A and B are shown apart, each in its own frame.
Chain A
Amino acid sequence: SQTIHQWPATLVQPVGSPLSLECTVEGTSNPNLYWYRQAAGRGLQLLFYSVGIGQISSEVPQNLSASRPQDRQFILSSKKLLLSDSGFYLCAWRLADRYYEQYFGPGTRLTVT
């Protein structure tokens, strides 16, 4: 069966510090991968998606970036965090031929102080 992992689960970082969040998927190959952000009391905003290694599409211009160095690994990064980067970050995956089945990881709660 497929599983999706995210780490860390929680993170507190000062403004201006770098960020690296990792997401890995097990039990499948060539998934589509997604990063979402959920700000406090708000809905989900798609940040990035990837249909293959090295292929990243950005939905919202910001100081975050994403990379996909391996087929089942998706990384969200920042060189300098802003207060507005605080939120709950969710990784998700789906199989390309089952477009309506999208599965979410447990999330990372980021607090920028």
Chain B
Amino acid sequence: GDSVTQMEGPVTLSEEAFLTINCTYTATGYPSLFWYVQYPGEGLQLLLKATKADDKGSNKGFEATYRKETTSFHLEKGSVQVSDSAVYFCALLVDSSYKLIFGSGTRLLVRP
């Protein structure tokens, strides 16, 4: 079945460090891929998305490229801030499906 695998956290970085959170997927058909962010005590917010192979989603300095050949959608940011501390979820949506399939989430802690 369709699934998403994320690197386990927590990921602890110093401010201004480079961030990579790995995400790989298994899916039938042609999925759209997403990164959601959950700040402490809040619901999820869509961070970025890519709807076809080789698309690059970007928002707030975060980027992720849809790599069909490696079935990956790794999240990157060149310089993290303390305010980026949150849980990040990778997710996929298969064509015309009703539901998102989420990874288990990766907690990011950025220290000053």
Instruction: Choose from A42, A43, A57, A107 the contact partner of B43 (Cβ within 8 Å).
Output: A107
A contact residues around B32 at 8 Å (CB): 100
Instruction: Choose from A6, A34, A107 the contact partner of B99 (Cβ within 8 Å).
Output: A34
- Return B47 CB to nearest CB of chain A, in Å: 12
A contact residues around B97 at 8 Å (CB): 99
Closest to A103 in B: B46
Interface size class of A (residues with CB under 8 A): 20 to 34
Instruction: Choose from B51, B100, B105 the contact partner of A102 (Cβ within 8 Å).
Output: B100
Instruction: Choose from A43, A51, A103 the contact partner of B103 (Cβ within 8 Å).
Output: A43
B contact residues around A74 at 8 Å (CB): none
Q: Please count how many residues in chain B sit with their CB below 8 Å of the partner chain's CB atoms.
A: 21
Closest to A46 in B: B99
Instruction: Choose from B93, B96, B98, B104 the contact partner of A43 (Cβ within 8 Å).
Output: B104
Closest to B6 in A: A43
Contact A104 B43 (CB under 8 A): yes
**Chain B CB within 10 Å, residue with most, of A34, A49, A51, A99:** A99
- Could you tell me which B residues sit within 8 Å of A by CB distance? 32, 34, 36, 42-46, 49, 51, 89, 93, 96-100, 102-105
